Amino acid sequence: MAKLPVHLPDDPYGGLVRRGPGAAAARRLGLPVPPRLRRHEPGQEFLTGPALVLRAGAAPLADDVAVWLAAAGARVVGDLSAAGEDRLGAVVVDATAASRVGDLGALRESLAPAFRRTASGGRVLVLGAVPAEAGGSAGGEFGEGFGDVEARAVQQGLDGLVRSLGKETRGGTTVNLLRVAAGAGEALRSPLEFLCSARAAFVSGQPLLVGPAPAPAVAGRERRVAVVTGAARGIGAAIAEVLARDGAHVVCADVAAAGEQLARVANRVRGSALTLDVTAADAPDVLADHLRRRFGGADVVVHNAGVTRDRSFVNLGADAWDTVLGVNLAAPLRLTEGLLRTDGALAPGARFVCLSSINGLAGAKGQANYATSKAGLVGLVQALAEPLARRGMAANAVAPGFIETPMTASMPAVPREVGRRASSLQQGGLPVDVAEAVAWLASPGAAGVNGQVLRVDGQHLTGA
């Protein structure tokens, strides 16, 4: 397959302060210097240095974590001195059993020196419990009926810790919290690997929940089939590329008017093109029929097609409202329903991934219609999670932040520059960053992640 075309951002500021006299001036003036992110390349090392596995308290998962990291290619060490002079490629702390405020103090003591020693492009990952499950039913100081209030508070505290550390890292290091539900077992392995890998370069400062994976219905197919709506350009095209790189046949769907670019994308990824207006009355039947007859069902459905019609709320007419809600929210609802209703349209273990937006999580001035639709998609995946889990399927959302696309390139200069720098990684992400997250959620290993929202925003300030 041809090399993926990387959309290089036109980021003159980043180029100026990264080298030469500009770098010296930026240092003296205390200007932000956006780090170069370490992204996935074929054949690269899993990590840039050894992986340190820390234990906060009982740490029931630490041994498995060490084994899994080693299997992924990491040199795993149990304490900082074993790393020698090397800077750490990853620090993983098992804090799932932390239940007392004192445990957090112990956590600080072991994590702080390791955090200082993290390499550029390093990964800090805190494993926590699901706060609602923390401490079990045994109860604590509050007595009967209260559960273990302190354990829940401690586990929720990890969220603030991780978000703060995300804002303090340098050199493109990311910090995330993986909340491990009871009985997750092997389902933890793939999220652990993903969040430590170069594929998660723009994912930072957020919690993600992993639970037990539903039992696989049947053995996976030799070549999985994925459908991506809005695949002709931008993030959709990048998603098609990464899914194809990971071995899927990608059905690239887009409107008839985008047919020329769509054909180019479909041929480049050795997939196929499908003309589909997601808002058409017959779109669910057309898509379901196509997937059933041509492929014996889809393993992955990515609801990526989306539009904007920005205007202040009072000036938003019915057209701008209905268009955005129709494409961004009503169409994914109807297509999902149609695919679930049609026997054979979905393969066993199918995954849905919706493209939300941090503007849907935080709201955005002039985007009431867009934000409503994108928040609605979060509700969609949350509502689907349980019923889909019963069928061995899953639905999740990815919420991109500021991503360098032709759309953001056409923004006015000042808001564009503000948008770029207003994240912990001080830069815009690339379409491939979003695509990596989508492809991971679509992968067999991510079976324990369901009903979640994964932000790909470099910990953007507005991203919740």
Partner 1 sequence: MTAPTPPPRTTRAVRPVAVVAGNRTPFAKAGGRYAQASAKDLLVAAVDGLVARTGLAGERLGEVVAGAVLKHSRDLNLTREAVLSTALDPATPAFDVSQACATGLETAVLLAGKIALGQVDAGIAGGADSASDAPIAVDEGLRRVLLALNRARTPGARLKALAGLRPGQVVPELPRNAEARTGLSMGEHAARTAAHWGVSRQAQDELALASHRNLAAAYERGFFDDLVTPYLGLRRDGLLRPDTTPAKLAELEPVFGRDLEAPATMTAGNSTPLTDGAAAVLLATDEWAAEHRLDVLAHLVDAQTAAVDHVHRGEGLLTAPVHAVPVLLQRNGWTLDDLDVVEVHEAFASTVLATLAAWEDEEFCRERLGLDGPLGRVDRAKLNVAGSSLATGHPFAATGARILATTAKLLAERGGGRALISICAAGGQGIAALVEA
Contacting residues toward partner 1, per CB under 8 A: 249, 252, 256-260, 262-264, 266-275, 293-296
> From the CA atom positions of the chain, what is the Rg in Å?
22
Q: Are 328 and 370 in contact (CB under 8 A)?
A: yes
CA-based end-to-end distance of the chain? 38
Of the candidates 370, 423, 425, 453, the residue annotated as catalytic is 370
Give min distance, CB of 272 to partner 1, in A: 3
Q: Which helix (H) or strand (E) holds 76?
A: strand 76-77
Q: Which of residues 93 and 273 has its CB atom nearest to partner 1 in the complex? A: 273
DSSP assignment, residue 429? B
Give min distance, CB of 265 to partner 1, in A: 8
Give min distance, CB of 207 to partner 1, in A: 39
Rounded to the nearest 5 percent, the helix, strand and coil shares of the chain are 45, 20, 35
Q: Which of residues 95 and 273 has its CB atom nearest to partner 1 in the complex? A: 273
Give min distance, CB of 435 to partner 1, in A: 19
Q: Which of residues 252 and 320 has its CB atom nearest to partner 1 in the complex? A: 252
Give min distance, CB of 333 to partner 1, in A: 22
Supply the DSSP string of 374-441, one letter for each residue: HHHHHHHHHHHHHHHHHTT-EEEEEEE-SB-SHHHHTS-HHHHHHHHHSBTT-S-B-HHHHHHHHHHH
Q: Which of residues 148 and 277 has its CB atom nearest to partner 1 in the complex? A: 277
Q: Are 122 and 83 in contact (CB under 8 A)?
A: no
Q: How far apart are CA 167 and CA 164, in angstroms?
A: 5
Q: Is 13 annotated as catalytic? A: no
Q: Which of residues 157 and 230 has its CB atom nearest to partner 1 in the complex? A: 230
Hey, what are 237's tokens?
């095209």
Q: Which of residues 2 and 414 has its CB atom nearest to partner 1 in the complex? A: 2
Give min distance, CB of 275 to partner 1, in A: 4
Question: In degrees rounded to 5, what are phi and psi of residue 172?
Answer: 80, 15
Hey, what are 239's tokens?
């998603």
- Residue 392's closest CA among 255, 220, 262? 220
Hey, what are 196's tokens?
């430590």
Q: How many CB atoms lie within 10 A of CB 426?
A: 18
Residues with catalytic roles: 370
